[in-house]
Chains A and B, each alone.
Chain A
Amino acid sequence: MNPRSLLDRYLLGEVTEADVRQLDRLLAHQPELRREYIRAVAAESGLREIALERSVHSTAPAQLRQSRQWRFWGIAASVVAVLLLMVLLIPTNQSADTVATLVSSENAAWESALPTLPGSQLTAGTLKLRTGIATLGFPSGAELILEAPAQIELISTMRCRLLDGVALVEVPESAVGFIVETPSGYAVDYGTCFSVKVDPDRGESDFELIEGEIGVHHASTGDEIRLTQPNHGVKASAETLRAQSREELEEMASATTGLVRIGTDGRATSVLPNNKRHKFVDPEVLSVRKTENGKWDYRSFFSFDLTGVEFNNVRSARLRLNLVPSRRGLASRLPLKNQFGVYGLTNSDKADWSIDATWEDSPTPEDGVLLGTFEILRSAQRGTYGIANEELLQFLRQNSDRNVTLILVRLTTQIEGKGPVLTHMFASDSHPEAVGPLLELTLDRTAQKPPETQR
């Protein structure tokens, strides 16, 4: 059967299971046939209307026609009747459990127990948007555009809570009073458009008015700041609520406030036992490998210049390492999880290592203390890894007046199999694409003015 008659028979309900399967395959792969289908359905609707009209005017009404016709007009009448009843009886009842509708999504990937197809009705619950952009519509008329990565909890038709990420909220007159909560505050919307950004790591949220009027309240004290001027904002932290001008908002957008990043400034390298670094050490990456026999292992080390950092104000420290795709070895010989150790150098004899140091005179884990470990799945080729803990902060604090050296090694080796095991590679400062090792220091907010970024 040709596709068109197949389609036609499907619409008439005159098909076998095999026909339907064939049609399904064809429709899945032929956009042209789908257009044909939609047009055929439109024609189908037209034919039906004509049939119904004619049966109304028909002088010899067959019994079946009659019943069909009455079914159609009966429905039209009953719809109107139901609507009228509702006008009289339940003027403003909303459906009980639907909180919002997923209006649209662009390249959205979700982690959620709630349905995530566009058009889905969403009940109260939490949605996590991993990638993309999604629009949620609330029955009240409020609309929320989420940008990944974001996490939101739907509470009611007039209330939601943004736990992480960025959202743009538009509230028409019908939804005045719509509330967007964050962990540190909440905004009551008086008919406007505003944006909200939540940083769960720092426990802060930023509200910025784009148009109209909002009231921002502090989560625990209940203090309120009213915003009526476009482009003005409020930052809500665990302790306070603070109004921000356009200038401060711009400054904030550069995301440097309260954060100092220190790079290695080229002081980073790898070593291997045979010391043929010109041949086997690629300066763009920091190689890390551990094997059973140890002959072709790699370890890396790098230093950060901490002079000039006022450690009294530093609240937390994080080491960031950017994994880049490896050019050596096979991932299939790695265990599913690979563990890495970061050591802080304490042996002062090794502190003055040179950039072309040998395996023997460069710093080893035995020359230092273990500050922390992290894991990488063997399937991962990219991503930011590293450690952020009290041990790291303490170590940095004790060595705050000088260069500190960190040593990176793989703690796990390989599994049974063929071929050489993968060498993990992290970007060095000379990597063309990814950023080299970074120390990120979060400064206490009692610090007067956020220092300039250091690299």
Chain B
Amino acid sequence: MSNMHRESLFESDFMRLFVRHEPVLRAYARTLLPDWNLVDDALQEASVTMWEKRGQLEDSSGFLPWAKVIVRFKCLSMIATLRRSRLLLSDEVLQQLAEEAEALQAEELTAIRQALSHCLSKFDQAHQELLLAPYSGDGRVQELAALCGKSANAFYKLLGRLRDKLADCVRIQLQLEGL
């Protein structure tokens, strides 16, 4: 087989493609997995598999759908073991979500992210901090609650309201952009 040339060309391409599509793959994995730590684990494992199987790829346009199949498979196999310890949606619903999330593209994510940045800036500093707390480490929400002398439960209620507000703002913002 005379594909040595192809392969050496592809190694640098692979890195570039992986880095470019990582946010979409991450979001895709998050559709299936219940938290971000698991998503990171899945992505890491999937990246190794992708590397091993990069020979399947014909060109860069095929990368994302192909990578999604691998990510999906990793997530589903993780879910099988997670089910014992975590509260998860049923396999049928997860399968369906995975199918429907297939269409998710980088452009859409970028648009959502820009809308988020814009909307976030409308909140005051303390609320921004709370909105970002769930991604700033396990227990960060409780930590903030303790700092303010409130119960964690009350804080989650507040967080819920803030998130609703943020989501509304994002939706309007995206509609303005025709998405």
Determine whether B172 belongs to the interface, using a CB cutoff of 8 Å to chain A. Answer: no
* Residues in B neighbouring A76, C-beta threshold 8 A: 22
Using CB atoms, name the residue of chain A closest to B120.
Answer: A50
Let me know if A75 and B43 touch, CB within 8 A: yes
Determine whether B123 belongs to the interface, using a CB cutoff of 8 Å to chain A. Answer: no
Let me know if A48 and B135 touch, CB within 8 A: yes
* Residues in B neighbouring A86, C-beta threshold 8 A: 48, 51-52
Q: Which one of A31, A79, A176 has the highest number of Cβ atoms from chain B below 10 Å of its Cβ?
A: A79
Contacting residue for B116 out of A12, A43, A52, A91, CB 8 A: A43
Contacting residue for B97 out of A14, A20, A38, CB 8 A: A38
User: Distance in Å from the Cβ of A38 to the closest Cβ of chain B?
Assistant: 5
Contacting residue for A174 out of B6, B93, B120, B170, CB 8 A: B6
| Distance A79 CA – B49 CA, assembled complex (angstroms) | 11
User: Distance in Å from the Cβ of B163 to the closest Cβ of chain A?
Assistant: 6
Tell me the residues in window 21-46 of chain A with beta carbons closer than 8 Å to chain B beta carbons.
Answer: 23-24, 27-28, 31, 34-35, 37-46
Known contacts A28-B92, A40-B167; A68 and B135 CB within 8 A of each other? yes
Determine whether B151 belongs to the interface, using a CB cutoff of 8 Å to chain A. Answer: no
Determine whether A59 belongs to the interface, using a CB cutoff of 8 Å to chain B. Answer: no
Let me know if A34 and B97 touch, CB within 8 A: yes
Determine whether A82 belongs to the interface, using a CB cutoff of 8 Å to chain B. Answer: yes
Determine whether A123 belongs to the interface, using a CB cutoff of 8 Å to chain B. Answer: no
User: Distance in Å from the Cβ of B173 to the closest Cβ of chain A?
Assistant: 11
User: Distance in Å from the Cβ of A138 to the closest Cβ of chain B?
Assistant: 8
| Distance A339 CA – B116 CA, assembled complex (angstroms) | 71
Let me know if A48 and B36 touch, CB within 8 A: yes
Contacting residue for A45 out of B26, B35, B57, B167, CB 8 A: B26
Using CB atoms, name the residue of chain A closest to B132.
Answer: A51
* Residues in B neighbouring A94, C-beta threshold 8 A: 52-53, 55
Tell me the residues in window 317-357 of chain A with beta carbons closer than 8 Å to chain B beta carbons.
Answer: none
Let me know if B137 and A82 touch, CB within 8 A: no
Using CB atoms, name the residue of chain B closest to A141.
Answer: B56
Known contacts A39-B112, A172-B58; A139 and B31 CB within 8 A of each other? no
Using CB atoms, name the residue of chain A closest to B163.
Answer: A8
User: Distance in Å from the Cβ of A12 to the closest Cβ of chain B?
Assistant: 6
Determine whether B1 belongs to the interface, using a CB cutoff of 8 Å to chain A. Answer: yes
Contacting residue for B58 out of A5, A38, A141, CB 8 A: A141
* Residues in A neighbouring B134, C-beta threshold 8 A: 12, 47
* Residues in B neighbouring A35, C-beta threshold 8 A: 100
Known contacts A12-B156, A93-B52; A47 and B135 CB within 8 A of each other? yes
Contacting residue for B140 out of A13, A41, A49, A65, CB 8 A: A65
Let me know if B109 and A9 touch, CB within 8 A: no
Let me know if B51 and A45 touch, CB within 8 A: no
Let me know if A120 and B136 touch, CB within 8 A: no
Let me know if B112 and A42 touch, CB within 8 A: yes
Tell me the residues in window 102-116 of chain B with beta carbons closer than 8 Å to chain A beta carbons.
Answer: 104, 108-109, 112-113, 116
Q: Mark A6-19, 1 if CB is under 8 A from B, else 0.
A: 00111011111100
Interface size class of B (residues with CB under 8 A): 35 or more
Known contacts A24-B89, A34-B96, A46-B109; A92 and B137 CB within 8 A of each other? no
Let me know if A42 and B93 touch, CB within 8 A: no
Determine whether B164 belongs to the interface, using a CB cutoff of 8 Å to chain A. Answer: yes
* Residues in A neighbouring B53, C-beta threshold 8 A: 94-95, 139
Known contacts A94-B55, A141-B58; A5 and B164 CB within 8 A of each other? yes
A-B pair count, CB < 8 Å, reads 183
Let me know if A9 and B160 touch, CB within 8 A: yes
User: Distance in Å from the Cβ of A49 to the closest Cβ of chain B?
Assistant: 6
Let me know if B55 and A141 touch, CB within 8 A: yes
Let me know if A42 and B11 touch, CB within 8 A: no
| Distance A150 CA – B88 CA, assembled complex (angstroms) | 37
Q: Which one of A9, A72, A92, A120 has the highest number of Cβ atoms from chain B below 10 Å of its Cβ?
A: A92
Determine whether A62 belongs to the interface, using a CB cutoff of 8 Å to chain B. Answer: yes
| Distance A169 CA – B134 CA, assembled complex (angstroms) | 49
* Residues in A neighbouring B170, C-beta threshold 8 A: 43
| Distance A87 CA – B12 CA, assembled complex (angstroms) | 10
* Residues in A neighbouring B7, C-beta threshold 8 A: 91-92
* Residues in B neighbouring A92, C-beta threshold 8 A: 7, 55
User: Distance in Å from the Cβ of B45 to the closest Cβ of chain A?
Assistant: 10
* Residues in B neighbouring A41, C-beta threshold 8 A: 27, 30-31, 101
Let me know if A72 and B140 touch, CB within 8 A: no
| Distance A51 CA – B30 CA, assembled complex (angstroms) | 16
Let me know if B15 and A47 touch, CB within 8 A: no
Known contacts A34-B96, A95-B53; A24 and B109 CB within 8 A of each other? no
* Residues in A neighbouring B47, C-beta threshold 8 A: 79, 82-83
Q: Mark A50-65, 1 if CB is under 8 A from B, else 0.
A: 1110110000001011
Not counting A48-B135, A82-B44, a sample of 14 additional A-B residue pairs whose C-beta atoms are within 8 angstroms of each other reads A5-B160, A9-B156, A13-B35, A24-B90, A27-B97, A38-B100, A38-B104, A39-B112, A50-B113, A50-B120, A54-B132, A65-B140, A72-B40, A86-B51
Q: Which residues of A contact B (CB under 8 A)?
A: 4-5, 8-10, 12-17, 20, 23-24, 27-28, 31, 34-35, 37-52, 54-55, 62, 64-65, 67-68, 71-72, 75-76, 78-80, 82-83, 86-87, 91-95, 101, 103, 117, 119-121, 137-141, 172-174, 176-177
For this complex, 10 residue pairs linking A to B, each with C-beta atoms less than 8 Å apart, are A13-B34, A14-B156, A37-B97, A43-B166, A51-B135, A65-B140, A75-B40, A75-B44, A79-B43, A174-B6
